[in-house]
Amino acid sequence: MGAYTAQINSGTPTSTLRIAGAARAAVLFVEEARVCVQIVFLMRFLAAAAVTAGGRLAGMGPELIAPGVSWVLATLFTYGINGVSDVQEDRLNRTGRPIARGDLSPKAAARLTWLSAAGSVVIALACNNVLLITFVLAFLFLGYAYSAAPFQLKRSAAGTSGSVLLMGLLTYAAGWTAAGEGRPPGAMLVLAAAMSLWMCVVGAVTKDFSHVRGDAAAGRRTSVTAWGDTTARLVGGAGALLVGGGFLAAALTGWAALLGPAAAVLAGGGLVVAVLCRTTRGDEARGRTPYRAFMVTQHLVHVTLFAGLFLTA
């Protein structure tokens, strides 16, 4: 109350203070939704659109702006509601995100979460694309079901892996339909399958290594709490090698020029993740390392794909 009175007495208009507060809350909300995750979801969307357009960046025109914004808002909703639902777990796990550290109230985050969902649907409807609208609604429902009651798919390893697999596939499908639909190119299907499996088999498992305390307190049956640390690390490492190797083999079979370099990056990243899963066993302080390698790898895969498209444009 004293701080508020001081602000009023300072002569700053109340409307200005409210705007500044809303802007700060919006910035913190984006941070809560994990900027690196938001970026990679947008890259998935754009990668699918580019490959659908024949592997040409020139085929990615202004018509992708509205669908892309709709998808970004949908992913903000998904990770925003996750933050609102996981306050206690995030505090136990010391994630350091805005809600957990007390800089953003769950109530304010919830408002921004549902505003994001509403904006996503309105923009998707304005695009007049039935498939895009369907994908957006499915993604929003899945995002809600993952984190919130009564579904809370996050409470089990199968629910977590299945959710992120579908989130990846829906994102690539949205990029495909935004680029003009038609028959999905084989290269796009291979890319979507490989990178969605990377999320499902590698990301969904390795993220649990540093969340054991909060997950156990919440009664979740995650890969680590259900299988044990040793088995979870074995699954994460083996999955990284299999997905990386499988993508490389598929890419070299029919799309070496388009997908080969990106697939080589994934195969290399899979090897790094596997080594880290093996060498960080039982070390909570380093438990985030395999997940960081997973995240950096998927960013590099898409950056490599875009770089190749740019060089051949």
Instruction: Decide if 99 is inside a domain.
Output: yes
The CATH number of whichever domain residue 51 belongs to comes to: 1.10.357.140
Q: Do 100 and 196 reside in the same domain of the chain?
A: no
Instruction: Decide if 106 is inside a domain.
Output: yes
Q: Do 146 and 268 reside in the same domain of the chain?
A: no
Instruction: Decide if 4 is inside a domain.
Output: no
Q: Do 116 and 55 reside in the same domain of the chain?
A: yes
Q: Do 177 and 235 reside in the same domain of the chain?
A: no
> Helix, strand or coil for residue 208?
helix
**Global pTM value:** 0.91
> Which tokens sit at 246?
């499988």
H helices present in the chain, as ranges = 2-9, 14-32, 35-52, 65-85, 87-93, 98-101, 106-126, 130-147, 157-178, 186-197, 204-206, 212-217, 223-227, 229-254, 256-279, 289-311
Instruction: Decide if 1 is inside a domain.
Output: no
Total number of domains constituting the chain: 2
Last residue of a domain, one of 184, 215, 237: 184
Last residue of a domain, one of 184, 215, 239: 184
Domain that holds residue 221: 185-313
User: Between these two residues, 15 and 52, which has the higher pLDDT value?
Assistant: 52
* Residue pLDDT, tens place only, 25-74: 999 999 999 999 999 999 999 999 999 987 766 556 788 999 999 999 99
DSSP 198: I
* Residue pLDDT, tens place only, 258-311: 999 999 999 999 999 999 999 987 655 555 799 999 999 999 999 999 999 888
Calculate what percentage of the chain has a pLDDT beyond 70. 92
Last residue of a domain, one of 184, 219, 244: 184
Q: Do 166 and 288 reside in the same domain of the chain?
A: no
